[in-house]
């Protein structure tokens, strides 16, 4: 077996951390998924069961064939074209109509089976994975959903449509708009120029997704937190981020200290700075549990700024730019008019104060004051 590609998703919870390998075998190319930890085997077992569930809920679409031997999942390697590739090509051509058609096609694949339709009601499973349910209650839902039915995971081979990489199949009732939002939104993370060609808000409107985008983004953020957080509340991803940040700061410091030429002094300085860095990192680790609850509260706000707020802010900036330009032009016009008025009044003042009648009046006033 010759390995061609390896991806380690180890920043997830141990329950979901997996290693994905694409390899050339005697039977041709295959895709393998193995658990990084013993806790991840249950996740692999569930994924193996999703193939049959998907084919019932999303007929006529098919699930990429899979086998599970208790150690690893083995998938067929499909050679067709992904929906993401088609979208990318359309964006490169600047073909907005083609992008719209492809998004409509994606929605039709994800909503093809009327028997999978239902009305959303909350459940313990939904609230554990996605958080608040109230905004979706009573809206259209799916009995079963491929939450990761994103453009990159939909493959066209001849007349057949396949789902690949179907790790996140929800077997509890899900809001239809939330599933469609995530499957659509993912393309905007990966395809440069898509937002400029067809803004996400316009795409959501095109597909009839009316739930507030911020509400759906918060649900996705809760899902992401569920995936990276252990049952005891710890998160390797958060700890790794903090450690990498500390390491980067120390590396930058070293670049500053090393040119000094004083080997002994440099070594001493580096030792002291490393010692301080270790102390800082130790303190961070010690505070991690206490800070975690606060971090969870801030998480939605931070992601709100960096993810779903991007489109709104960008549009607002463009709008404000035009407004400010108009206001600036108006202010410049007013400024010039005020300058003209100032000069006019100045000249009038000079004309008045230089006139004989004004001087005579001032003389009379002076005489009056002297008599008084």
pLDDT tens across 223-274, in order? Answer: 999 999 999 888 876 666 655 554 444 444 344 333 334 444 444 444 444 4
Residue 354's nearest CA partner among 362, 365, 366 is 362
Q: How many CB atoms lie within 10 A of CB 102?
A: 20
Structure confidence at residue 268 (pLDDT): 44
Residue 65, token pair as written in the block:
């064939």
Residue 247's nearest CA partner among 273, 218, 216, 226 is 273
Structure confidence at residue 1 (pLDDT): 84
197 or 279, greater pLDDT: 197
Tell me if the bond preceding 367 is cis, omega within 30° of 0.
Answer: no
Q: What percent of the chain has pLDDT over 90?
A: 60
Q: What's the pLDDT band for 175 if we cut at 50, 70, 90?
A: very high
User: How high does pLDDT run on average in the chain?
Assistant: 81
The full DSSP string for 105-157 is HHHHHHT--GGGEEE----HHHHHHH---GGGTTSEEESSEETT--GGGEEEE
Q: What percent of the chain has pLDDT over 70?
A: 63
Check whether 11 has a pLDDT greater than 90: no
Tell the residue number behind the tokens 């500053």, with chain if given.
256
Which residues, 6 or more positions from 248, have their beta carbon under 8 angstroms from its beta carbon? Answer: none
Q: How many CB atoms lie within 10 A of CB 250?
A: 17
Q: What's the pLDDT band for 139 if we cut at 50, 70, 90?
A: very high
* Burial of residue 210, with CB atoms counted within 10 A of its CB: 0-12 exposed, 13-18 middle, 19 or more buried: exposed
- Map residue 20 onto helix, strand or coil: strand
Cα within 13 Å of Cα(203), Cβ side: 31
Check whether 306 has a pLDDT greater than 60: no
Structure confidence at residue 162 (pLDDT): 98
Structure confidence at residue 353 (pLDDT): 67
What is the C-alpha separation between 210 and 23, in angstroms, rounded? Answer: 42
Instruction: Give the mean pLDDT of 289-295.
Output: 59
pTM assigned to the model: 0.66
Q: What's the pLDDT band for 313 if we cut at 50, 70, 90?
A: low
Q: What's the pLDDT band for 10 if we cut at 50, 70, 90?
A: confident
Instruction: Give the mean pLDDT of 75-103.
Output: 97
Q: What's the pLDDT band for 322 if we cut at 50, 70, 90?
A: low
Which has the minimum average pLDDT: 173-177, 199-203, 287-291?
287-291
Q: How many CB atoms lie within 10 A of CB 29?
A: 16
């Amino acid at each position: 077996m010759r390995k061609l590609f390896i991806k380690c998703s180890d920043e997830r919870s141990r329950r979901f951390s997996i290693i994905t390998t694409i390899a050339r075998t005697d039977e041709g190319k295959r895709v393998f998924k193995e658990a990084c930890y013993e806790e991840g085997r249950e996740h692999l077992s569930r994924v193996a069961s999703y193939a049959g569930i998907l084919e019932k809920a999303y007929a006529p679409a098919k699930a990429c064939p899979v086998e599970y031997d208790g150690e690893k999942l083995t998938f067929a390697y499909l050679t067709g074209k992904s929906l993401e590739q088609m979208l990318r090509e359309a964006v490169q051509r600047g073909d907005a109509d083609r992008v719209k058609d492809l998004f409509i096609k994606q929605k039709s694949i994800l909503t093809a089976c009327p028997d999978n339709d239902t009305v959303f009601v909350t459940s313990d499973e939904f609230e554990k994975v996605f958080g608040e349910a109230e905004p979706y209650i009573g809206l259209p839902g799916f009995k079963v959903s491929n939450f990761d039915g994103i453009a990159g995971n939909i493959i066209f081979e001849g007349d057949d449509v396949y789902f690949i990489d179907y790790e996140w199949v929800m077997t509890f009732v899900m809001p239809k708009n939330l599933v469609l939002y995530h499957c659509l939104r993912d393309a905007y993370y990966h395809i440069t120029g898509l937002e400029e060609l067809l803004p996400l808000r316009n795409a959501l409107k095109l597909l009839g997704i009316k739930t507030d985008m911020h509400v759906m983004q918060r649900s996705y953020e809760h899902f992401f937190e569920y995936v990276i957080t252990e049952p005891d509340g710890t998160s390797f991803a958060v700890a790794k981020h903090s450690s990498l940040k500390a390491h980067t700061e120390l590396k930058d410091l070293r670049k500053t200290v090393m040119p000094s030429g004083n080997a002994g002094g440099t070594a001493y300085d580096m030792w002291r700075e490393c010692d301080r860095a270790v102390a800082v990192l130790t303190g961070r680790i010690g505070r991690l549990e206490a800070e975690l609850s606060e971090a969870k509260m801030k998480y939605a706000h931070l992601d709100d700024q960096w993810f779903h707020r991007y489109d709104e802010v960008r549009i607002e900036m463009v709008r404000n730019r035009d407004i400010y330009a108009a206001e600036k032009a108006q202010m410049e016009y007013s400024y010039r008019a005020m300058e003209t008025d100032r000069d006019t009044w100045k000249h009038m003042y000079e004309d008045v104060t230089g006139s004989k009648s004004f001087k005579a009046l001032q003389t009379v006033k002076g005489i009056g004051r002297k008599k008084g």
